[in-house]
Amino acid sequence: MSEGVPSPVRVLVADTDLDSRKKLNQYFDREGWSYDSVGDSESLLAALKERKYDLVVTDLCMPDIEGVELLRKIKQERPSQPVVVVADSSLERQANEFLQSGSALDFLPRPLVGNMLGQVLKRIARAITSHGDGKKGKRESVFELPYAKSYKFTSREYDENKLKLPILEFLIGSSKIELNTALKLDLAYQEAVTNALEHGNLELESVWKEEVDDDGRDRYSRIKEQRLQDSAYADRFISIEVRCDEKSLRICIKDDGKGFPAEADAPKSSDLTDTIHCHGRGLTIMHSVMDAVSYSEEGTVVTMEKYFE
Amino acid sequence: MDEYQTEIAGDKGLIKISSDLDSEQSGEALRKAFNQLFDQGKRTIVLDLDSVEIINSYGIGKVLMCYKRLKAENGVLMVKPLKGFVKETFELLMLDKLLPIDQ
């Protein structure tokens, strides 16, 4: 399975073009994703009635139905269903209209090219893969707003590939945010959790990244590895609280470290020195993606908010 | 497929990256590819990030390490024209001011 897509994504492939269907099937086989494959719209809609899929990849130009009608029927059956459309390159304009209207997440031009296919599907899988509580395979299929969920785990238990925000899938599917925004939110969230883990609980200092030993390993990575085996650091907790309503998404992350001066509140993005040296980049990313970022006085709790338009 | 392909074109070394730069493993792979060219004496190295969809602060840290190693020897780290999220992130962190574009 490819790195960054931690567990199988369940996909429904619907394509009348045998070659592109075969190519999609081969891709999913290779990546270890489970999928069903059909060749017409009737079978697609029947399959959707039957079970829930994480992603539908469908031919936009099936002979038995107009693309717009097909997408309408898919959304009628599964309102928050993420869909990627496949069509000849000449139909890019029409496909882009679907993307802009929120009916589809992305467009794969035919003929399908391996690299692009992988990039698009991997990107989407990242955004929709849900591993809310870190237990592999557990999925949340129903979301309702207002939504609230809490997570708690030790430094030792943290695995970036498992801890995704399942609410993002719902927000994309319900057109509250676009795919690109979801990716950025996921990135800001990952940066905040990484800060809590590495600088908070493990008390790692960014400058250590610049100290490289003879075998090319930096001091930061080396000490990180050691502290993940030391219960004084590794058993500290990270607590995450996610709340979402019609107007905003709010993520609150707390670590058990000693805290740090919250001067990090407003990164000086005009200072190239901060960019060149190894500090503040995660914070800059968080500030740029979220509408509000604030730290508690002791620097152990960060709260980030994104407002929906 | 090798996700960090290197090639040499005249005085320049090129690293073509076809995976996301968002993990310790990907950063390590970039470091190795960079070292391969650096150890061959290349002091102008170009990163092709066209296939990279996601980059995070970890990946950017590795890019900057490449930049600093070259700069210390009067070398240059360049990038092929960027797009999408990677371009936005580079602009946000002002890497576009540090790393010239190789057209």
ipTM of the complex: 0.75
Which among A3, A119, A282 is the nearest to B57, CB-wise? A282
Domain range for B53: 4-98
Give mean pLDDT, residues A286-302: 90
pLDDT for res A268:
52
Give mean pLDDT, residues A77-89: 83
pLDDT for res B92:
81
Question: Does residue B80 lie within any of the structural domains?
Answer: yes
- Number of folded domains in chain B? 1
Of residues A154 and A288, more confidence is placed in: A154
Q: If we measure between CA atoms, which residue out of B60, B17, B68 comes closest to residue B38? A: B68
Tally C-beta pairs within 8 A across A and B.
70
User: Which chain B residue shows the shortest CA-CA distance from A161?
Assistant: B23
* Residue A83: band (very low, low, confident or very high) from pLDDT cuts 50, 70, 90: confident
Alpha carbons A131 and A138: distance in angstroms, whole number: 6
- Which residues of A make CB contacts under 8 Å with B? 3-4, 115, 119, 122-123, 126, 160, 180, 183-184, 187, 190-191, 194, 209-210, 216, 221, 269-270, 272, 275-276, 278, 281-282, 284-285, 288
Q: Do B56 and A180 touch (CB under 8 A)?
A: no
**Could you tell me which CATH number the domain at A11-128 has?**
3.40.50.2300
Which among A184, A272, A278 is the nearest to B61, CB-wise? A278
What's the pLDDT tens digit per position in B46-95? 999 988 878 888 888 889 989 989 999 999 999 999 987 888 888 888 88
Question: What are the CA-CA distances from residue A191 to residues A107, A163, A187, A200, A293 (Å)?
Answer: 28, 12, 6, 12, 12
pLDDT for res A291:
94
Question: Does residue B103 lie within any of the structural domains?
Answer: no
Q: Does residue A282 register a pLDDT over 90? A: no
CATH number at residue B10: 3.30.750.24
What does the domain layout of chain A look like in residue ranges? 11-128, 147-307
pLDDT for res A140:
42
A147-307 has the same fold as A11-128: no
Alpha carbons A283 and A263: distance in angstroms, whole number: 11
* Residue A139: band (very low, low, confident or very high) from pLDDT cuts 50, 70, 90: very low
Which structure tokens are listed for A62? 């099936």
The mean predicted confidence, pLDDT, of chain A is 80
Tell me the CATH architecture of domain A147-307.
2-Layer Sandwich (3.30)
Sheet of B4-9, strand order:
B4-9, B12-17, B44-48, B76-79
Q: Which residues of A touch B98 (CB under 8 A)?
A: 272, 275-276
Q: Give B77-83's long-range contacts (Cβ < 8 A, gap of 24+).
A: B77/B45, B77/B46, B77/B47, B78/B12, B78/B44, B78/B45, B78/B46, B78/B47, B78/B102, B79/B46, B79/B47, B79/B48, B79/B49, B80/B46, B80/B47, B80/B48, B80/B49, B80/B50, B81/B50, B82/B49, B83/B50
Which among A122, A191, A216 is the nearest to B31, CB-wise? A216
What's the pLDDT tens digit per position in A172-194? 777 788 777 887 888 889 889 98
pLDDT for res A131:
39
